[in-house]
Amino acid sequence: MKKNDMKLWIVGSIGIDDIKTRTEDRKDLLGGSLPFCTAAASFFTQAGAVGIVGSDFPESFAARWGKFGTDLSGVQHAAGKTFRWAGAYDENMIERETLKTELGVFADFKPKLPAAYKQAPFVLLGNIQPELQMHVLRQAKGAKFVALDTMNLWIDIAKPALVKVIKKVDLLTVNDGEARMLSGKWNMRECADELLKMGPSYVIIKRGEHGAILFSKKGIFVAPAFPVEKVVDPTGAGDSYAGTFMGYLAKRGRVSEKALREALLYASVVASFGVEGFSLECFEKLTIAKIERRMKQMRKMISV
């Protein structure tokens, strides 16, 4: 890769998943936040992946992943087992139970940016330990717009470290439960006000099937979730959402209120395709033409 070609890199987990839903029980699926994020972003820009896999990571997974144009030079390979996760979804396909979490080589992950990534203007710090998010962010000398995703676990056990990272980023994305947990407030607007005081210019609060809300000092934008006819597997939906959002911004090359709102709508659309199959199955068949057709439907749904 030529110097300065990379516009976006993403750090996160790479895993092998076992998923049980009300209709199917699938084993050994390509999972983790990073494949979902980068695959979704690929419809708008090439993304660099920063993560780690073990010696058991199938070559077929790397080949499938690489077909999205993802740059994998930031993926470390270590002796040992790849991160594994198993989960079972309730009948409503919203609630889920974690059946197994095996960190493997991910437990000792120390992200290192390839030289080609260091000047990239857009960065997505995926859902990993806050200390690692800060560690890799310090290497991003050319970062112009940094987004951070997190979860209830880190808010519970590593809040001081998480707050330090939040101060350094431009955008924070959390779900509604995490927003309440992190802010100590209940009302979503009060939550957002508290989170904005922590440092970021923008906060996205994800509300699952109810869409997402973008908060900033310039105003509020509500983006609905695109209503799909059949949800097959919700795993990775939030990661696909975040990856699309950042991929679209990287394609635009600059951040404005209009670009952020457009990015949210595209994120809703692309994530809606992802939940219609397991792992990256639906993304492998997806085209920008299909995205634009569904985006046209989305615009019609929200017009007055």
Domain annotation covers residue 72 = yes
The pLDDT tens digits of the residues spanning 128-159 come to 999 999 999 999 999 999 999 999 989 999 99
Domain annotation covers residue 174 = yes
SS3 annotation, the chain: CCCCCCCEEEECCCEEEEEECCCCEEEEEEECHHHHHHHHHCCCCCEEEEEEEECCCCHHHHHHHHCCCCEEEEEEEECCCCEEEEEEECCCCCCEEEEEEECHHHHHCCCCCCHHHCCCCEEEECCCCHHHHHHHHCCCCCCCEEEEECCHHHHHHCHHHHHHHHCCCCEEEEEHHHHHHHHCCCCHHHHHHHHHHCCCCEEEEECHHHCEEEEECCEEEEECCCCCCCCCCCCCHHHHHHHHHHHHHHHHCCCCHHHHHHHHHHHHHHHHHHCCCCCCHHHHCCCHHHHHHHHHHHHHHHCC
* CATH assignment at residue 110: 3.40.1190.20
Distances 77 to 61, 62, 106, 246 between C-alpha atoms, Å: 14, 12, 10, 26
Domain annotation covers residue 3 = no
The pLDDT tens digits of the residues spanning 277-286 come to 999 999 999 9
- pLDDT bin (cut points 50, 70, 90) of residue 94 is confident
- pLDDT bin (cut points 50, 70, 90) of residue 4 is low
Domain annotation covers residue 49 = yes
Domain annotation covers residue 1 = no
| Mean of all residue pLDDT scores within the chain | 95
Q: Is residue 2 predicted with pLDDT exceeding 70? A: no
Q: What's the number of domains the chain is made of?
A: 1
Q: Is residue 3 predicted with pLDDT exceeding 50? A: no
Q: How far does CA 99 lie from the centroid of its chain?
A: 22
Query: Could you tell me the residue range of the domain that residue 265 belongs to?
Result: 8-302
Average pLDDT over residues 71-93: 96
Domain annotation covers residue 2 = no
Domain annotation covers residue 279 = yes
Domain annotation covers residue 55 = yes
